[in-house]
Amino acid sequence: MAVTRLPTAALSLKQFLHRQKVLEIYRNMFRTIRQIPDPADQKYLRGWARDEFKRNKNATDPDAIRMMMTQAKNHLEELQRSLALAR
């Protein structure tokens, strides 16, 4: 019998890749929020982003995860466009 060193809760390759993409979106969201000039707006958006990601962190349905990733990308792009127009 083969002995495996993987923990029982190891992620599949697809889950691992989704996780990496979600983390990339999360980091980009916070980098973009840092560019907002008003500290009050920064604080509000940081709280909003954290709450959204925390609320959905236990999602397991791949289709739902892809949908949430698409929504997050759209929010990020909209925020980046708004910042570009404000400059």
Contact criterion met (CB below 8 Å) for 42 and 36: yes
The per-residue pLDDT for 8 is: 66
Residue 40 has pLDDT above 90, yes or no: yes
The per-residue pLDDT for 6 is: 62
Q: Is 72 exposed, middle or buried (0-12, 13-18, 19+ CB in 10 A)?
A: buried
Q: Where are the domains of the chain?
A: 13-86
Q: What is the mean pLDDT of residues 14-36?
A: 94
Tokens at residue 32, please?
Answer: 């973009």
The per-residue pLDDT for 2 is: 61
The per-residue pLDDT for 54 is: 95
